[in-house]
């Protein structure tokens, strides 16, 4: 299979996610558990013999959620609930919602009411991540999720199954990080859109299949890296935010000469960074990963605040500009917004904030603003 065909498999999964989940469920005679955002330990779901399904993308009719959600709720929560209400997530048997903000704190209870599923859990993430007790707390939370999954499947999750799942996910993250590296080394090899299509599709595809495809894609890209002249014309851009949405922004950046060489999105680099140890207590290892991940708007350790992390990332990746995507009504992102822009200014990196939302509205304006920004940071190259 050619590389374009391999990438098309990821594109098809994003366009029509339901069929492949249903096929997997029939073949495996098992169920699928949805999860919001990327802080949920998928390895536990996988080790329970279930299909972890990231509810990140998927275009729903947002107004379907209007009866249930206040007007100020972010379009990610609105889109996710609208997908469920529209029957687009009928293949799910369960749901885990990580508590990342006030919205997610109430979303599970609401979901239970309007679309009850056999298994529904909160993952209560700590907010004060530098407290000495946080390690013990998160281990307790992971044990609770594991226990509830075990109750649901009617058997224990064996340590060897959890180790297998962790190894599989580590391999997956490593392959995707290699993809990110290759793109940053020479953006001509794989486009912005292709790279993030793969990362997003991985969240909704069987992990074994994702790894099989990724091994082939990475191998062809590595061959091409040596044979292709490095493109020096691309303007190096840092893209930051809670969720990368709409994906069209990737096309606009590329259209005006840019390559995204760093990000911190839940459906971007934050999803694939940091691995889980496979020695000692595996639950402790999962807790370690959670506590040592890169910061996000909802998970901002005092010892590594997000604004400094992003400024360092921008310097390390030698970016020429930073674009902050602010999902409208995302409260945690709201709190970070000023500090992040200030940190870029202090680092001498031009930065712009764009308000975004799920859905197709406002794309023309977004493209115009990206064009203007790229002209400013790219000078004659754009």
Which residues here bind ligand SF4, judged by CB under 6 A? 37, 74, 76-77, 100-101, 103-104, 242-243, 298, 327, 330-333
The Cα–Cα gap between 10 and 183 comes to: 17
The Cα–Cα gap between 285 and 28 comes to: 28
Residue closer to ligand SF4, measured from CB, 38 or 88: 38
Residue closer to ligand SF4, measured from CB, 71 or 227: 71
Signed CA dihedral, 105, 110, 115, 120: sign only: positive
Shortest distance (Å) from residue 81 CB to ligand SF4: 11
Residue closer to ligand SF4, measured from CB, 100 or 186: 100
Which among 159, 137, 121 is positioned nearest to 40, based on CA atoms? 121
Residue 313 to residues 79, 262, 300, 322, 326: CA-CA distances in angstroms? 30, 7, 15, 11, 19
The Cα–Cα gap between 31 and 17 comes to: 15
Residue closer to ligand SF4, measured from CB, 32 or 69: 69
Q: Which one-letter DSSP state was computed for residue 99?
A: -
Residue closer to ligand SF4, measured from CB, 192 or 266: 266
Residue closer to ligand SF4, measured from CB, 81 or 168: 81
Shortest distance (Å) from residue 106 CB to ligand SF4: 10
Contact 197, 14 (CB under 8 A): yes
Residue closer to ligand SF4, measured from CB, 245 or 254: 245
Shortest distance (Å) from residue 329 CB to ligand SF4: 6
The Cα–Cα gap between 334 and 325 comes to: 11
Give the chain's largest Cα–Cα span. Answer: 63
Shortest distance (Å) from residue 331 CB to ligand SF4: 5
Residue closer to ligand SF4, measured from CB, 249 or 327: 327
Shortest distance (Å) from residue 80 CB to ligand SF4: 8
**In this structure, what are the phi and psi dihedrals at residue 118, rounded to the nearest 5 degrees?**
-65, -35
Residue 145 to residues 44, 100, 103, 125, 264: CA-CA distances in angstroms? 8, 16, 21, 12, 26
Shortest distance (Å) from residue 288 CB to ligand SF4: 23
Residue 228 to residues 233, 258, 304: CA-CA distances in angstroms? 14, 18, 37
Shortest distance (Å) from residue 327 CB to ligand SF4: 5
Shortest distance (Å) from residue 237 CB to ligand SF4: 22
Q: Which residues of 105-133 are buried (b: 16+ CB within 10 A; e: fewer)?
A: ebbbebbeeebebebbbbbbbbeebeeee
């Amino acid at each position: 299979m050619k590389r374009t065909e391999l990438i098309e498999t990821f594109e098809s999964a994003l366009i029509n996610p339901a069929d492949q989940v249903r096929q997997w469920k029939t073949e495996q005679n098992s169920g699928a558990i949805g999860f919001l955002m990327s802080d949920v330990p998928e390895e536990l779901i996988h080790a329970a013999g279930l299909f972890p399904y990231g509810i990140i993308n998927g275009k729903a009719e947002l107004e379907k959620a209007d009866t249930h959600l206040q007007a100020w709720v972010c379009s990610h929560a609105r889109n996710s609930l609208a997908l469920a209400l529209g029957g687009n997530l009928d293949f799910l048997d369960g749901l885990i919602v990580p508590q990342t903000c006030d919205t997610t704190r109430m979303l599970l209870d609401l979901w239970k009411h309007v679309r009850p599923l056999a298994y529904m859990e909160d993952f209560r993430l700590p907010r004060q991540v530098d407290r000495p007790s946080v390690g013990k707390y998160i281990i307790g939370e992971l044990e609770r999720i594991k226990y509830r999954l075990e109750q649901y499947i009617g058997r224990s999750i064996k340590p060897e199954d959890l180790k297998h799942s962790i190894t599989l996910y580590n391999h997956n993250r490593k392959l995707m990080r290699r993809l990110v590296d290759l793109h940053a080394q020479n953006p001509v090899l794989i486009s912005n859109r292709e790279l993030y299509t793969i990362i997003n599709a991985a969240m909704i595809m069987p992990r074994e299949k994702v790894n099989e495809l990724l091994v082939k894609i990475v191998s062809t890209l590595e061959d091409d890296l040596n044979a292709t002249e490095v493109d020096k014309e691309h303007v190096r851009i840092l893209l930051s935010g809670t969720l990368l949405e709409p994906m069209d922004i990737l096309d606009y950046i590329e259209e005006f000469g840019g390559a995204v060489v760093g990000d911190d999105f839940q459906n971007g680099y934050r999803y694939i960074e940091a691995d889980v140890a496979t020695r000692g207590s595996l639950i402790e290892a999962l807790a370690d990963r959670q506590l040592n991940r890169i910061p996000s708007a909802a998970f901002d350790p005092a010892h590594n605040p997000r604004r400094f992390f992003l400024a360092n990332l921008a310097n390390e990746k030698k970016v020429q500009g930073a674009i902050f995507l602010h999902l409208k009504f995302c409260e945690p992102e709201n709190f970070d917004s000023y500090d992040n822009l200030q940190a870029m200014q202090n680092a001498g990196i031009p930065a712009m904030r764009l308000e975004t939302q799920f859905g197709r509205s406002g794309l023309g304006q977004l493209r115009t603003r990206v064009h203007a920004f790229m002209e400013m940071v790219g000078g004659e190259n754009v």
